[in-house]
Amino acid sequence: MAISDQMPNGDAAVRSKWGWFVVLGIIVLALGVIAAGNLLIATAASVFFVGAMMIAAGIVEIIHAFGVKSWGKFILWLLSGLLYIVAGYFAFANPLLATAVLTLFLAISLIASGLVRIWIGFTSKNLAGWGWVVAAGVVTVLAGLIIFSGWPVNSLWILGLFLAIDLIFQGITYIAFGFGLRRA
């Protein structure tokens, strides 16, 4: 059973809110442009956000630890939660170090992800479009290598750049979605 079958007016309710999607898109797009104009501040904001989320996740894991029945698993969940809180604290205590570490992890993750995509593409040669998977993997590896080659200096702006790009594309997406709902 489709969701629209369960909520017959679901699509109409979403369509009627098309203007809110456009307004949301304009706000998110504006925030993306502001972030692009202030990459250092956007980087700091993203590091503080990651730190806050790590502290929140650590608190939740510690609370969860008390619900675990086994003593050994309790210790593991408790330790995991404490480590999250400590890592989140360091993001606030030393944001430059946190920025450098997160940027390095980003570069390594992009390289690893790209290599996996390349491998998947080459092992799927019998399928149509496998070359696109390989090409996407190559672009991802190159992005990771470019970030890595400029590390740690680019740590001051790279996370802000990724945040700005994401906000700009999200804003454009919301605007397009809102106007698409209006036409529907």
Confidence of residue 9 (pLDDT cuts 50, 70, 90): low
Q: Is the pLDDT of residue 2 over 60?
A: no
Distance CA 22, CA 117 (A): 35
Q: Could you tell me which residues come within 8 angstroms of residue 39 by beta carbon, excluding any fewer than 6 positions away? A: 156, 157, 160, 161, 164
- The CA distances from residue 39 to 32, 144, 147, in Å, are 10, 19, 15
Confidence of residue 183 (pLDDT cuts 50, 70, 90): confident
Q: Is there a cis peptide before residue 8, judged by omega within 30 degrees of 0?
A: no
Task: Record the tokens describing residue 128, joined without a space.
Answer: 């149509």
Q: Kindly report the pTM of this predicted structure.
A: 0.74
Residue type, 144: G
Give 126-161 pLDDT, tens digit per residue: 988 899 999 999 999 999 999 999 999 999 999 999
